[in-house]
Chain A
Amino acid sequence: MSEVVLEARNVNKYFHDPVTNQVLKDVNLTIEKGVFASVMGKSGCGKSTLLYILSTMDTDYEGELLIDGVNMRNRTEKELARVRNEKIGFVFQFHYLLNEFSVIRNVMLPGLKLEKYSEKEIEQKAYEKLKLLGIESEALKKPNQLSGGQKQRVAIARALINDPLIIMGDEPTGNLDKKNSEVVYEIFNQLAETYNQSLLIVTHDQEFANRTHRIIEMVDGSIVTINHLKK
């Protein structure tokens, strides 16, 4: 049994606008180190909502969330920001790159915020990550000079910069064509296989999900099946 990086216990989530509506029902989930998990389910079943809670951005929920064995209840906004910075890499459907900064600088930003390494070392690491994703030649361009697939790869590099405990993705391939989706899958798979990286990726792509270690199936805010494929 390998070490648990993320654990959700009896998580419930309600929205009260316009009427009270339970979006997550008693969700229990554990992700161990090195596991590449995918989350599937119909539109509106609560996948994104779950991911926002697991990434500490949403704090309005019932139940327990443990990251790296530490309970996230009653943490200040600053402490949670620190947890996101250090332990979680997030990739969204949209890339959210800052057009004012060069690609390399975008990748470096979370590293500079963490202040674990010097600026020189962070730059070095950012280059390594870009190289891993095969876009080191674009480092000095501005994000708006890149293609959609390249932008998403930069966003992944940014998620990797602080060597996070887990990478979460909310339909990271949702905006990409078949070929680029394939590239992103290959990167994720390589991270999991070679670097023992944990990943939790929401996807609508059955083919993508089938090649992950574990498929978490959601229906109406509940996890109905967890399908262990490998590991």
Chain B
Amino acid sequence: MKIKLIASVSFSLMIARIKQTTVAAVGVTFSITMFITLLSFMGGLNDLLDGLITKRSPHVRLYNEVQPSEVQPVDRFSQFEGYHNFVSSVKPKNELPEIYNSREIMNTLEKDPRVSGISPKITAQVFYNIGSIDFAGSINGIDVDAESKLFAFSDYVTTGNYIDLKNTPNSIILGKGVADKMLADVGDLIQVTTSKGERVQLKVVGYFQSGLLDLDKVQSYASITTAQKLLGESDSYITDIQIKLNDLAMAPELAKEYARIFETNAIDIQTANAQFETGSSVRTLISYAVGITLLIVAGFGIYNILNMMIYEKMDSIAILKATGFSGSDVKSIFIIIALSIGVFGGLLGLVFGFCFSLIIDQIPFVTAALPTIKTYAINYNPKFYIIGIVFSIVTTYFAGYFPAKKASKLDPVIIIRGK
């Protein structure tokens, strides 16, 4: 009953000043619209760029780095225990970047409930031969099915069918840059020289385009067996085990655990792509900063309009107080006005923001670097909408609070004497 009365007074004051009230609400609507659009667009952009990395990167990668042993022969001598041994020019011993016991490791990982999938990989350094010219590159030997499932390999095979890599013996999918350099069409035979000096002929079954130009100029894909053959290794030879986890956030922790258990090197996605994280968070920060700035400007608009309203409605405030409305009633009247502007303007802003997002989502965005992207990306995260409406309510509340407080403190005697 009481709130109904207060609200009815608020609404009649707003209607009496409908133009200014509308302008204030439009200010809020505009800022919330911009806020939502900006965050959705930036969010989409972040997802797109992160996707470029995260979709294609293992959460944890196990590998063996060629490095000098930490324990040198002299350290094993009991005679020199407790001595400081200086050994200079330590060299790594001649060993391959092979992961030992790869079968067992893979079996263990497959049973691990935290792991959503694994995919073995071999990296082989080769020279691509074009006539008499050679250029360096690498061939990734992959498990075609696992790679497609975990890393959307098939999305990036722009020409040819990815499955041919598995079904055709001695086949290769060339990086787009490599293919351009070699002038190789699908179906052609190309020649590569392995690091051991052997020449091998491979059949081109497709092109691969990752979106990272430098990578596409050197990297090609073959099946794991082809790669093993290239290197002349046995069928247990594997240089990398790529792991996808159920929870990406656990990657750093699990990388450490696996490194200890399996006695290999392990790197997590967060460490491997730290610079991308920074880019994303800076973009998000900028969007929030712009959105909040707009809202504060809108808040000043509301502040002004309420101040003006209070100035104009001095007499009404005086008589309300003289007839028994308390200071807090008067304060509520003006806070309700501010909040109504905030809620109404804010909700409208959410709707407009959503519409703008939909429009941006339809704008074509075609780039050779991103073969899977057709339009601008938008992130429709409900979080943005919740933050938007909460912000608009909080800002308008504060914008209304100070004028309302002033109104509640007005002395009716002074106003009535002033007549």
Contacts and interface: CB of A to CB of B under 8 A. Distances in A.
Q: Do A and B come from one complex?
A: yes
Interface of A: 48, 52, 55, 57-58, 77-78, 81-82, 84-86, 90, 92-94, 96-101, 109-110, 112-115, 119, 158
Interface string B235-276: 000000000000000000000000000000000000000000
B326 A100 contact: no
A158 B322 CA distance: 12
Contacts of A96: 315-316, 318-319, 322, 416
A95 B316 CA distance: 11
B407 to A, nearest CB: 14
Nearest to A106: B319
Nearest to A89: B323
Contacts of B381: none
Chain B at the A interface: mostly helix, strand, loop or mixed? Answer: helix
B15 interface: yes
Contact of B323 (A58, A77, A119, A158): A158
Contacts of B324: 81-82, 84-86, 110, 113-114
A125 to B, nearest CB: 15
B386 to A, nearest CB: 35
Interface of B: 1-2, 5, 9, 12-13, 15-16, 315-316, 318-329, 412-413, 416-417, 419
Contacts of B416: 52, 92, 94, 96
Contact of A78 (B1, B2, B326, B417): B326
Contacts of A98: 12, 316, 319
Contacts of A86: 324
Of A57, A82, A100, which is in contact with the most chain B CB atoms at under 10 Å from its CB? A100
A81 B325 contact: yes
Nearest to A58: B413
A114 B13 CA distance: 21
Nearest to A118: B1
Contact of B322 (A78, A84, A114): A84
A194 B323 CA distance: 24
A57 B1 contact: no
Contact of A84 (B323, B328, B413): B323
Contacts of A58: 413
Contact of B321 (A48, A57, A97, A115): A57
A114 B417 CA distance: 26
A57 B412 contact: yes
B392 to A, nearest CB: 26
A90 B328 contact: no
A48 B414 CA distance: 12
A57 B327 contact: no
Contacts of A55: 322
Contacts of B16: 99-100
Closest 8 CB pairs of A and B: A85-B324, A100-B12, A96-B319, A81-B326, A110-B323, A78-B326, A84-B324, A112-B5
A110 B377 CA distance: 57
A194 to B, nearest CB: 24
A229 B413 CA distance: 31
Contacts of B320: 109
Contacts of B326: 77-78, 81-82
B286 to A, nearest CB: 44
Of B9, B15, B16, which is in contact with the most chain A CB atoms at under 10 Å from its CB? B9
A81 B329 CA distance: 10
A115 B323 contact: no
